[in-house]
Amino acid sequence: MEQLINKLQKSFKLSDVKHQRENLTFVTVKKDSALDLVTHCRDYEGFSHFVLLSCVDWIEDGKFQLTYLLNNPSGKFDLGIRTFISRDNASMTSAHLLWRQIATYQRELKEMYGIDFPGSPRVDESFILEGWDEIPPMRREFDTKKYSEDTYFPREGRGSNDPATYMKSKLYPDDEK
């Protein structure tokens, strides 16, 4: 794994290398070279299996973090390639030509986060939310509790408890800590 990272360092500017486990490493690259790195890993380093494409919303930094997780079946290890894109007019180069199933991930990201992938097949069709007309629901500025209360007729008198304190008061009522 170390050897692979050192080898990749020579041709790509990797930053923030994090060895999560023995067989899982995350690296971060610039937006422009992310897909180059993915393609390189697929074609030359044996990462033939695409695991997932996911997104994290860093609203404080104004950024989305995309993670392409690749798997090397012969070496039995994973490589996560992270890249940051701007939150405003979020857009990323489509990777559906590398693996066909990425088109589905991109369709979901378009719907849930509003990240555009120009050229990806059927990216504009609704995926799970049919006829959604609010801001994309997985963006953190979307207040899902308020939306639910406004839309779905909440039943009066429904209460919730914090599981930790509730169980503590139930199981150990005498414990005064």
Rounded least distance, CB 36 to another protein, Å: 36
Q: Per CB under 8 A, which region of 3-11, 25-33, 86-94, 153-161 contacts another protein?
A: 153-161
Q: Between 133 and 176, whose beta carbon lies closer to another protein?
A: 133
CA angle at 165 for the pair 164 and 170, rounded to the nearest 5°: 100
Positions in 156-175 near another protein (CB under 8 A): 158, 160
Which residues, other chains included, contact 120 with Cβ-Cβ below 8 Å and sequence gap of 6+?
Answer: 94, 96, 102, 103, 106, 107, 110
Q: Which of 133, 141, 162, 175 binds another protein (CB under 8 A)?
A: 133
Under DSSP, the state recorded for 48 is -
- Contact call for residues 57 and 140 (beta carbons, < 8 A): yes
Rounded least distance, CB 91 to another protein, Å: 24
Q: Which of 60, 151, 162, 165 binds another protein (CB under 8 A)?
A: 151
Q: Which of 39, 144, 161, 169 binds another protein (CB under 8 A)?
A: 144
User: In angstroms, rounded to a whole number, what is the distance separating the alpha carbons of residues 48 and 32?
Assistant: 22
Torsional sign, CA 29, 34, 37, 38? positive
82 φ/ψ angles, rounded to the nearest 5 degrees = -100, 150
Q: Please report, as a single letter, which amino acid is at residue 128.
A: I
- Residue 147 sits in the site that holds another protein (CB under 8 A): yes
User: Binding marks (x or -) toward another protein, 92..131, rule CB under 8 A?
Assistant: ----------------------------------x-xxxx
The footprint of another protein (CB under 8 A) covers: 126, 128-133, 137, 142, 144-145, 147-149, 151-155, 158, 160
